[in-house]
Amino acid sequence: MNKKNLLDRFLRYARIDTQSQEDVESYPSTAKQLDLSRLLLKELKALGVKAAKIDKNGYLVATIPSNLPKTDDAFGKVPILGFVAHVDTSPEVSGAGVKPQVIAYKGGDIPLPGDTTVVIKASENPGLKDNIGKDIVTSDGTTLLGADDKAGVAVIMSLAERLLSDPKIAHGDIKLAFTPDEEVGGGTKFFNIKAFGAQYAYTVDGDKAGELNKETFSADTAVVTVTGRDIHPGSAKDIMINAARVACEIVARTPKGMAPETSEGYQPYMHPYVIEGGVGQAVVKILFRDFKTEGLVALRKRLEDIVADVQALFPKAKIAIKVTESYRNMGPILEKTPLVLETLWEAATRAGVAPSWVPIRGGTDGSRLTEMGLPTPNFWTGGRNFHGKTEWLSIEDMGKSLEAAVHLVQIWVEKSRQ
Ligand SMILES: [Zn+2]
């Protein structure tokens, strides 16, 4: 396995600014994401991939044709597999001018050179100790690193290179997709699964080596709009209705024991993540998250009760709630196609890591793809601390991700021969 090549790919991709942006009408939300997609297209062509293009919505899709001879028992039987990663990085932290640092990790905290107040703490990163004596990658502390998901992009590109250069690796038709706008919830907005043509797919967008994901949250977003009445404070008595005060009252009443910062594992949460406005109008955006889709109904009811109570305190304010669906837990659908899960488990085992199914407290492109009819679990890239300046990447784990992907395509061929 050419690890140097994989790392070079990652570093090359990480330096390109591909930050996506919230609340933008255009698609993709930022044109610069395609800078990376265009580079990937060029690299795929150079590798000899003929069927590769960027479609009108900015999806880079490519096909690596099967190398099975007609005499192979799996010929015509092995399912078409897809590998999916997203090119964008989180809008939360700048992705401009990323300076990746390759560090020989010797243990302890890691102050980052561009801003020494940004420290990757050993106490907050139990995964660091597995990397003592090994190389890891960080940013310089002024930006995120973008291992989410350029590590996944690098793994898939290296997989393509391996499949095209090593005829000993038997595989069926393989489809690759690089999507924009995953971080702003739009990764699959215009994705055409029919045109993609895969029967099963895998997102490469996870965490630590061995961690496999078949369950995500089910997610809705509530927008609470408070309309008040603005007037000069000097003559406001009995007339002014302060929407900002009403909005704060609503946020103050959201359950503190059911928040992202106080919950873990399979626990649900209600997360007021945006509050903005003033006297005349204020808006609160709230995330509902639960692994059980029916749990979202209870979260919504809870918010409605809070709003009813606050409305009674401020009878003249107008308060409206609008809830929209974000994505659904892919677990119940994936369980119906157990082979897509068993093959992934086997691939991790053959790559020499101990696999485990870990619920994702978030969503992936796979949540939507699975719902649309393309079963798509997720596996690790080696990246950690996503969406922050303390993001880091275990080079060893990224290498294991590539090894697992190479095993995975072969396991499907083996299974199809039976
Ligand atoms: Zn991601």
Question: What mean pLDDT, rounded, does the chain reach?
Answer: 96
User: Helix, strand, coil shares of the chain as percentages rounded to 5?
Assistant: 35, 25, 40
pLDDT at 37 > cutoff 70: yes
pLDDT at 395 > cutoff 90: yes
The C-alpha atoms of residue 53 and residue 44 are separated, in whole angstroms, by 10
- What count of Cα atoms within 13 Å lies in the side-chain half-sphere of residue 128? 22
Q: What is the pLDDT of residue 224?
A: 98
Q: What is the pLDDT of residue 1?
A: 52
Q: How far is the CA of 250 from the centre of ligand 1 (A)?
A: 31
E strand or H helix at 384, and its extent? strand 383-384
Q: pLDDT band at 23, cuts 50/70/90?
A: confident
- Span 383-409, average pLDDT: 97
Question: Which strands, in side-by-side order, build the sheet including 101-104?
Answer: 101-104, 135-138, 392-394, 383-384
- Span 4-31, average pLDDT: 95
> Given the structure tokens 């330096």, which residue do they identify?
15
Please report, for the chain, the start and end positions of each structural domain, with discontinuous segments joined by +.
3-215+329-417, 218-326
CATH no., domain 3-215+329-417:
3.40.630.10
CATH class label, 218-326: alpha beta
Collapsing DSSP to helix, strand or coil, 229 comes out as: strand
Q: pLDDT band at 300, cuts 50/70/90?
A: very high
Single-letter amino acid, residue 160? A
Q: Are 303 and 286 in contact (CB under 8 A)?
A: yes
Structure tokens at 314: 């401020």
- Span 225-252, average pLDDT: 97
Q: What is the pLDDT of residue 144?
A: 97
Q: pLDDT band at 378, cuts 50/70/90?
A: very high
Residue 137 DSSP label: E
pLDDT at 199 > cutoff 70: yes
Q: What is the pLDDT of residue 178?
A: 98
Q: Which residues are catalytic?
A: 88, 182
pLDDT at 262 > cutoff 80: yes
Q: How far is the CA of 256 from the centre of ligand 1 (A)?
A: 27
Q: What is the pLDDT of residue 418?
A: 84
Q: How far is the CA of 277 from the centre of ligand 1 (A)?
A: 30
Q: How far is the CA of 87 from the centre of ligand 1 (A)?
A: 9
Q: How far is the CA of 296 from the centre of ligand 1 (A)?
A: 23
Quick count: other Cβ atoms within 10 Å of Cβ 280?
Answer: 16
pLDDT tens-digit map of 315-368: 999 999 999 998 899 999 999 999 999 999 999 999 999 999 999 998 889 999
- What count of Cα atoms within 13 Å lies in the side-chain half-sphere of residue 254? 23
Q: pLDDT band at 185, cuts 50/70/90?
A: confident
pLDDT over 90 for what percent of the chain?
96
Q: How far is the CA of 138 from the centre of ligand 1 (A)?
A: 17
Q: What is the pLDDT of residue 261?
A: 96
